[in-house]
Structure 1
């Protein structure tokens, strides 16, 4: 999978790297070695070959560890959204460091809990994995509030990879993401879903308990709730997709029954093709 990452991010500066950008006319002072002699042979004019320079990336992985991420689903052998997100973050950290990019980790629930600044040393992965292995899904969260708090704490622009279920008020969330975009960050969101949340498979009377407010629980007949739930889910996802599109944010839905490598490979291949 490491090959998927190489060359995904480009610098706006022109240099002499691996990807051809354009020709421009030779002027006095240009290095002779940059002249395209084949083109000179065809046109009898001197042109310089310019390239687009690849540059290292600064990436911060923002991991949501709020209570709702602890949902594990009703299927036997399933993995919780939190455990899936932790492993996904570790995979991304490995891929970034493998191509000598700087990667950091920020985890939060109802507040920012820890910021590990981006580093590009291979040994930095150990610090990230050790931090991830000790996390637990707990507490409530309000994503928009946390994101607004984070903007001044990430002074250098770069890539923000947000791993979350994104449950919350869409309008306020979009304002917070727009705040990141105003600070010139590129944003990729991996939205974590459990299969239960997408197809609502419950058929018998079921007791539902909030993972963020333990005292909130309801015993209901799912048959009466399913239609309204799926309608609200569709409305939520459409609003989220439209908001991300307006703000030029990559939204990547990921379901916990899908292998990590498959989900990452699919997205990175698409990203490379579009770039």
Structure 2
């Protein structure tokens, strides 16, 4: 996807429309990298809703009732999909080349895509939004209505405050019971952190944990303007200018920080996908869904 198309997506406020655009570039049959049970038993019919796959439409029932219905099935696998969104203040960091695009916008878009895929596969899925020192929780459920609930919550998420503390996150881990696939999107600027500890604990509980680390291109190549003043949105420290004298130290500190993040994820068997928000969303999503050493 070109930079122009990424900019077009950034200017589109309809999250559902953006998700359809991104998933159209992936084709069909994408799995969120999980092993599934082979047995599928028919459960019930329900009315067709936008986002349902046409292959699930019962054409014989259409001929009799003159309405579209899809077949719901109960799967042998009880894997739930959990979406974890870092909505702390640092996620408001904008792209310097794509207007109206920031890290939170990009994270909401990709998590929405994962939710849409889970809905297509018949999985239960839920959402956890972390910001302002608290946890906002949408219980896991199935179906198109659940997708709309999750998309609405994603749309309402705003980058504010800090991540919840360790005690708050630990108390919130009850949302993951049965084997689950956990997709967490963050900029990982705070590491180690209560979030990293929670994700590590979930992985030790044998859940499938996938982490997406989002950065701006300016953060990656230290191309911040020296004419502007900057302030850490999660700290009360003063403002500073990003002069040439700071760039080398910034690059060194950044390299050390993310080397530690990568090493910790590798040690705990947590697949880490690092991406610039200016990149093609479909390609980033494809990499995030891909199983280590395999295909999506």
Q: TM-score, normalised by structure 2?
A: 0.71
Please list every run of at least 4 consecutive aligned residues from structure 1 whose deviation after the TM superposition is greater than 4 angstroms: 142-146, 171-174, 269-272
Aligned equivalent of 2:244? 223
Q: How far did 1:173 drift? A: 5.3
Provide the secondary structure at the position in 2 that maps to 1:3.
coil
Is 1:188 aligned with 2:222?
no
Partner Cα distance (1:171, 1:210) in 2: 17
Is 1:133 aligned with 2:155?
yes
Query: Structure 1 residues 66, 258: CA separation in 2 closer, same or farther (over 3 Å shift)?
Result: same
Structure 2: gaps spanning 5 or more residues: 1-25, 41-74
Q: How far did 1:271 drift? A: 4.6
Is 1:266 aligned with 2:287?
yes
Provide the secondary structure at the position in 1 that maps to 2:198.
helix
Using CA pairs below 8 Å that are at least 6 residues apart, which structure has the higher relative contact order?
Answer: 2
Partner Cα distance (1:7, 1:259) in 2: 19
Partner Cα distance (1:243, 1:251) in 2: 10
Query: Structure 1 residues 106, 173: CA separation in 2 closer, same or farther (over 3 Å shift)?
Result: closer
Provide the secondary structure at the position in 1 that maps to 2:96.
coil
Higher strand share: 1
Aligned equivalent of 1:254? 275
Is 1:5 aligned with 2:20?
no
For these two proteins, the number of residue pairs brought into alignment is: 237
Residues 35-184 of structure 1: matches in 2 within 5 Å? 55=77, 57-77=79-99, 79-141=101-163, 144=166, 146-170=168-192, 174-184=196-206
Q: TM-score, normalised by structure 1?
A: 0.76
Q: How far did 1:169 drift? A: 3.3
Aligned equivalent of 1:24? none
RMSD: 2.7
